[in-house]
Structure 1
Amino acid sequence: MTGDDLSLAVRVAEEAGAILLEHWSARARLAVTRKRSGDFVSDADREAERHLRAALAAARPEDGWLGEETGATEGNGRRWIVDPLDGTTNFLRGIGHWCVSIALEEAGALTLGVLHDPLKGETFAARHGHGATLNARSIGVSTTHAMSDALFGTGIPFGGMAHIDDHAADIARLMPHCAGVRRMGAAALDLAYVAAGRLDGFWERRLQPWDIAAGLVLLREAGARVEGWTSVETPERTGTVVTATPGLFEAFAGTLRATGDAPARPG
Structure 2
Amino acid sequence: MMAEDDATLARRLAAEAGALLLDRWSRRSTLAVTTKRAGDFVSDADRAAEDHIRAGLSAARPDDGWLGEETGAAAGTARRWIVDPLDGTTNFLRGIGHWCVSIALEEAGSLVLGVVHDPVRGETFAARRAEGATLNGERIGVSRTGDLSAALFGTGIPFGGMPHIDDHAADIARLMPRCAGVRRMGAAALDLAYVAAGRLDGFWERRLQPWDIAAGLVLLREAGATVEGWMPGEAPEDTGTVVAATPEVFPAFAGTLRGADVPPPGR
Regarding TM over 0.5, the answer is: yes
SS, match of residue 20 in structure 2: helix
Shift of 1:193: 0.1
Does residue 1:261 correspond to 2:257, yes or no?
Answer: no
2:68 corresponds to: 67
Does residue 248 in structure 1 map to residue 255 in structure 2?
Answer: no
State the 1:232 CA deviation: 2.5
Alpha-carbon distance in 2 for matches of 1:111, 1:232: 19
Distance (Å, rounded) in 2 between the aligned partners of 1:76 and 1:213: 18
Match of 2:219, as an amino acid?
L
Task: After the TM superposition, list the runs of 4 or more consecutive aligned residues in structure 1 that deviate by more than 4 angstroms.
Answer: none
Amino-acid identity (%): 78
Q: CA deviation at 1:33?
A: 0.2
1:224-246 CA-to-partner distances (Å, cap 9, x unmatched) read 00000001311000000000000
Aligned length: 264
For residue 3 of structure 1, report the CA deviation from its aligned partner. 7.5
Give matches, 1:1-267, under 5 Å: 4-258=5-259, 259-265=261-267
Secondary structure at the aligned position of 1:61 is classed as coil
- In structure 1, runs of 5+ residues without a counterpart are none
Q: Which amino acid aligns with 2:46?
A: D
Deviation at 1:146, TM superposition (A): 1.1
For 2:16 and 2:247, the matched residues in 1 are separated by 35
Residue type of the partner of 2:108? A
1:198 and 1:161 map into 2 onto residues whose CA distance is 28
- CA RMSD, 1 decimal: 0.9
Which amino acid in the other structure matches residue 7 of structure 2? Answer: L
Q: Deviations over 1:24-59 (max 9, x none)?
A: 000011000000000000000000000000000000
Distance in 2 of aligned mates of 1:232 and 1:25: 44
Report the Cα distance in structure 1 between the residues aligned to 2:42 and 2:195, rounded to whole angstroms.
26
**Which secondary structure does the structure 1 equivalent of 2:8 belong to?**
helix
Distance of 2:149 and 2:139 partners within structure 1: 27
Structure 2 Cα separation of the partners of residues 33 and 260 of structure 1: 35
Provide the C-alpha distance between the structure 2 equivalents of 1:21 and 1:150, rounded to a whole number of angstroms.
33
Query: Which amino acid in 2 is paired with 1:264?
Result: G
TM normalised by structure 2 equals 0.98
Q: By how many angstroms is 1:261 displaced? A: 1.1
State the secondary structure of the residue aligned to 1:226: strand
Amino acid at match of 2:5: D
Shift of 1:147: 1.0
- How many Å separate the matches in 2 of 1:195 and 1:176? 24
Deviation at 1:148, TM superposition (A): 1.1
Pairwise CA distance, 1:260: 3.2
CA distance in 1, matches of 2:60, 2:97: 31
For residues 121-157 of structure 1, give each alpha carbon's deviation from its aligned partner in whole angstroms, at most 9, with x where no partner exists: 0000000000000000000000001111100000000
